[in-house]
Structures are given as C-alpha cells and as structure tokens.
C-alpha cells in the first residue's frame, strides 16, 4: 500500500517560515491535500490540489510538490498556527485514500 | 450552513455492538459522498471508508473491511458507522466528513467527532 512519511515534529520561531515535508513515491504525480488539526477539534482543510487555498485560509499557507516530496509552507508563523498537520493523497493504483502520520508544529 | 452533527461519546465493553451516527443538514445529503475517519489516541488519521447515500454505494479501506459497517438512511439525512463486536483497539475518535463534489478524497466539512471507549 502507498505510504506517506512526515516528520513527527517541526519547531519554528514566530515570524519565521515553517516547512513541513510529506514524502511518498512519486508524490509529485498525485494531488496532495493538507489538513490542520488542533487538539480536541476536527481537522480543517488548508491546502487542496497541491497548492490551492480554501476560502478563509490565510495566504501565509502554501503548498508545493516535486518528485517524491510535497511541502506545506507556513510563512510568518503565528502562535495560532501551532497544530498537527496531515498530508493526504489518493493513490490511483490501489484506489485508496492515504494520510501521512502527521507533523506537530511547535511555535517557540 | 453545512453541518455534520455526530452522536455523543460511547463507552462499551469488548464484544459488544455499537452504532454511531452522523446527522447532516444544510445540503442535499444524498448527492455527496460521506467518509468515516479514525483518529486513535496519539496516532494519525486513518481513512475507513465512504458511502454515497443516494444508492448506498459503499467502499472500505482494506484495513477496515469486515471490521465495521458503513450505512446511510437518506430519509433522515443520517450516516452510520457500526461494529458488531468491539475490540479494545477500537477505542478512538471517529469523524464523519463530507467529500467535495469535485473529488472522492477531498474533505470539505467534518463532524465534531465521536469518542468511542472500549474496555474489557
């Protein structure tokens, strides 16, 4: 089955840029979504179709994919961005939807 | 306003059955796929399966096939997730979610989650 790999944690200072990688075999050929989840809350979609932002999501959130890595970038990080972030793809070969293991972003 | 309101927390013993619900409002229930997602304590999200309420077309992820039953009653705009024999490892938060009209994997709305606790 298709696997997505994320680092367990990323730390970033306020005002700096956070980059959250999501590794998968040839992930650049798939469409990637990113969800933000705060403790005790359901996830929220922050990026879809690799780099599209839903309405209401700040421009500070952006996504990109290349080769075997997709990346969620959060610019000018704020304390309120502390959360878990999950990447997600649909693997056409298996017909399955897959989530990455999640990355906890800590704002120092 | 699109709302997915899930049933409340449940506590069961191993071997017992359980059915949790997801009541939808604010859109045409039958015409959007609904997904169920598991979030085990301290773990990541897991895609369990989906259902299209208009015809009850149901698709399960391999890990959950035979372990749960996904159903829907379009007459009352409600989707269900059911276990016939719970295990301690079923202890988790379960989310229902609506899939975007343009995709079978893009979630645009989520329920608030239902905590299921299974003990021996």
* pLDDT tens digit sequence for B58-95: 999 999 999 999 999 999 999 999 999 999 999 999 99
Alpha-carbon radius of gyration of chain B? 14
Instruction: With cut-offs at 50, 70 and 90, classify the pLDDT of residue A1.
Output: confident
Q: What is the mean pLDDT of residues A14-34?
A: 95
The answer to whether residues B107 and B99 touch, using CB atoms and an 8 Å cutoff, is yes
**How confident is residue A15, by pLDDT bands cut at 50, 70 and 90?**
very high
Band of residue B42 on the pLDDT scale cut at 50, 70, 90: confident
- Taking the Cβ of residue A88 and every Cβ of chain B, the question of whether any pair is shorter than 8 Å is answered with yes
- For B117, the token pair is 């606790």
Q: How many residues does chain A have?
A: 108
Q: At CB < 8 Å, which residues of chain B contact A? A: 35, 43-47, 59, 61-62, 95, 97, 100, 103-108, 110-113
Structure tokens at B18: 């359980």
Closest CB to A99 among B46, B110, B113 = B46
Conformational region of residue B56, where left means phi above 0, alpha means psi within -120 to 50, and beta covers everything else: left
Say what the alpha-carbon torsion angle B20, B24, B30, B36 is, to the nearest 10 degrees.
-40
Structure token pair of residue A24: 């998968």
Whether A44 has a pLDDT exceeding 90, the answer reads: yes
Minimum CA–CA partner of B113 in chain A: A42
């Amino acid at each position: 089955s298709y696997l997505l790999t994320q680092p367990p944690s990323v730390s970033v200072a306020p005002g700096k840029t956070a980059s959250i990688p999501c590794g998968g075999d040839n992930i650049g050929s798939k469409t990637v979504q990113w969800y933000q989840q705060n403790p005790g809350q359901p996830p929220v979609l922050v990026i879809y179709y690799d780099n599209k932002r839903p309405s209401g999501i700040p421009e500070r959130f952006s996504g990109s994919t290349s080769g075997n890595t997709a990346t969620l970038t959060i610019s000018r990080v704020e304390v309120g961005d502390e959360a878990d972030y999950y990447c997600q793809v649909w693997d056409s070969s298996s017909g399955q939807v897959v989530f990455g293991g999640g990355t906890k972003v800590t704002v120092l | 306003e699109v709302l997915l309101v899930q049933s409340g927390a449940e506590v069961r013993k191993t071997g017992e059955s359980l059915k949790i619900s997801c009541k939808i409002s604010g859109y045409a229930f039958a015409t959007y796929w609904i997904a169920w997602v598991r979030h085990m304590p301290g773990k990541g999200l897991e895609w369990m399966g989906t259902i299209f309420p208009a015809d009850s077309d149901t698709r399960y992820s391999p890990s959950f096939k035979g372990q749960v039953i996904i159903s829907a009653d379009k007459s009352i705009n409600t989707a269900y997730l059911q276990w016939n024999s719970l295990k301690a490892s079923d202890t988790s938060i379960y989310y229902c979610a609506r899939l975007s009209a343009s995709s079978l994997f893009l979630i645009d709305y989520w329920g608030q989650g239902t905590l299921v606790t299974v003990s021996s």
